Structure 1
């Protein structure tokens, strides 16, 4: 698919997004039919009822980076600039206007995010961010970065929080996948008007953490 995307790199980006969604849907289909990994979504209407937003997503696995492509309108992802150097995949990803930052210089990285993020939102793209910064094991919590909430504060675009337990079935750094159903919870849009970035961030973090507890409680009840 990277070869296909690169071959049409000068054509419509809309077509490229359609191809990426087709690829992502295909991966989820294969994960279900080969590995037995299904998923259940609640709150999808929160995306459908929102025009343009910044998505703050729990990061446990590679699965959610694929899944998110199938449910969002055309969107841009925040990622490490070095990922764009990966042959073929990275080159193809560069054609989707990602927000590529250099994490070795945090102040410059934040400046790049705020500038590029505002531009992408004005162009009509959603922004996808993983505020934990890296994949975390199930049950592990990391402090959320405020950068996404700061972008929301400055642009006025709402924040949509997303929680899931994909890491239990598709673990990080593991070739082995496990059958089961991933629970995905998509929260209502968080209003940012007149609010500080830290307050927006705290609300998004609290919603995701509470949603994760609900997912755990539901799983425990089913296992009884």
Structure 2
């Protein structure tokens, strides 16, 4: 449920959120960089994520956004997984950091060049790739992804690629499933409807409720990434349609295989 109205009060609170969110990010990134040499990775991850916690608190108290999580019991304890979730806004990049920890996100290297934000992001060992070199980029995803998973760090990847409008599930790519099968780990599927309250490429923050549904981990059947990808996609589409009212279930034949870098699967 969400409130589609955006009156003057909503816009003013959205602008205030934008200002406070960025100020917190600048200050916290600088402090994180100063303290990083004295912290191991797990400690850095927890400390950097204080910004994520503060952002979610601000979103709730200032903008009236409630977050409801279903299926939290499916998150494995002491097991690294490949997290595959739909991509609607910036919200999931913050909230998933709090749900599955530690983790590394596949992203374009340009994000690390952003002052303050990118510097703090680099402390979390993301898998940064050069989208201008798609073949090398995919090899980097597989190589560094397996390294992170072997070290007990989960990997987050968005199979749709670019952010989708609210209420829509985009076409899928099988890159996340290939990484999971290569590394011998399971996929943890998730779907949410955050785009209504936190639209992409907008300062608007609508009051309402964000629902996140977590499914049971799915293993790689007979080492076949195509079958794994199909199972994950089926669960995500059907759950999004049945539980969140997002589009309609679509067969995998409607989602031709694409290169994960060229398609924009990299955040």
Regarding TM over 0.5, the answer is yes
C-alpha displacement at 1:32, in angstroms?
Answer: 0.5
User: Cα distance, 1:129 vs. partner?
Assistant: 0.8
Aligned twin of 2:191 = 163
Deviates more, 1:1-10 or 1:52-61: 1-10
* 1:89 CA drift (Å): 1.1
Q: CA deviation at 1:216?
A: 3.1
Report the equivalent of 1:85: 113
Q: How many Å apart are 1:140 and its aligned residue?
A: 2.8
Query: What is aligned with 1:14?
Result: 42
Q: Stretches of 4+ moved more than 4 A in 1? A: none
Match for residue 140 of structure 2?
112
Residues 37-116 of structure 1 correspond to what in structure 2 (within 5 A)? 37-49=65-77, 51-116=79-144
Q: Which runs of 5+ in 1 are unaligned?
A: 219-224
In structure 2, distance between residues paired with 1:97 and 1:23: 17
Inter-CA distance 133–217: structure 2 relative to 1 (3 Å threshold): closer
Deviation at 1:214, TM superposition (A): 2.3
2 CA distance for matches of 1:86 and 1:56?
25
**1:150 maps to which of 178, 195, 204:** 178
1:183–1:215 contact (8 Å) kept in structure 2? no
Larger Rg: 2
Q: Does 1:189 align with 2:206?
A: no
Instruction: Please give the alpha-carbon distance, in whole angstroms, between the structure 2 residues aligned to 1:32 and 1:70.
Output: 15
Q: Secondary structure at the match of 1:55?
A: strand
**Following the alignment from structure 2 to structure 1, what is the Cα–Cα distance between the partners of residues 111 and 220?**
31
Instruction: Report if the CA contact (8 A) 2:86-2:169 is conserved.
Output: no
Alpha-carbon deviation of 1:14? 1.9
CA positional deviation for 1:48:
3.9
d(CA) in 2 for partners of 1:103, 1:196: 26
Aligned equivalents of 2:231, 2:69: Cα separation in 1: 21
Deviation of residue 193 (structure 1)? 4.7
